[in-house]
Structure formats: structure tokens, C-alpha cells
Amino acid sequence: MIEPWVIHDDNPVPVSSAGVVEALRTRGDSRRLETWLTSSSGRLLAFVTNAERAMVVPLEVEGGPGEHAVDPGTAGSSDGFVLSSGQGDEYPDKDTVPIREAFRPMEHIVGAGTWPADARGWPIAERAIAVPR
């Protein structure tokens, strides 16, 4: 059985893989650009966006090493990633993905508990997962 996931600051009812994208869109529309989900086993899943690009970061334990979706070969950086604390961050574009591409790994992680099979990873301190287009 796949572990259920809930959004931290919303109703504690589990969100489905089909419902997570709609929840993220709704939150983005209301300028809640940082979303944390927690699974029943305690795993965490972060989604931070500036409405154009997003950072997707699953963590096995709070504060532990993570991995994130990347867009290799992309130059530049983007700002406007506003955290729930009010802090505004800027990230290299190679460490984020276009928002429409960020929804697929979110759906897959919530539904299957893992990155999509066609996501490539590199073994670095924080393993980066390339999201195919």
C-alpha cells in the first residue's frame, strides 16, 4: 500500500496523486508558494514556486539530505520564491524546473512514493533528479 500524504497547513485529509496538482495550483493562485507534504511514514515533500519555475524536494527525514528536480544546462537564475516565513529566495534555474514539468514528479511521488522511472539522477551530496521534457 502506498503511504498517504497530507499538506502541512491544510485539512489533514490525505491528498491523492490526482488531487495534488490542483491543490498546488490553488495554493499558488492564493500566493502560497511554499507547500510541504508529509507522508504517513514521516517522509517530507517540498514544492516551492515563483509561479513560473518550481523546486521539488523529497526528504526521507526532516533536515536530512535530499534530492531535487533539476533542469541541466539551463543558465540564469530566478527570484520570487517566497517561503511561508516571508523570505524571498533566488535559485539557479538549473536547480528548478518549469512549473508545468514540476507537477509530474509531485503526482508520481504522492501516488507511487518514488520519482518517475524516467527521471535521471546523479550521485552528489544532494542528488539531483533531471525531469525529462
Q: Are 14 and 1 in contact (CB under 8 A)?
A: no
Q: Is the pLDDT of residue 130 over 80?
A: no
d(CA 2, CA 113): 7
Helices 17-29 & 99-112 angle (0-180, nearest 10):
140
The predicted-structure confidence for 85-113, as pLDDT tens digits, reads as follows 999 999 999 999 999 999 999 999 999 98
- Is the pTM higher than 0.75? yes
Q: How far apart are CA 38 and CA 34, in angstroms?
A: 14
28, burial (CB in 10 Å: exposed 0-12, middle 13-18, buried 19+):
middle
Residue-level pLDDT at 39: 94
The mean of the pLDDT values for the chain is 85
Q: What percent of the chain has pLDDT over 90?
A: 59
Mean pLDDT within 15-21: 93
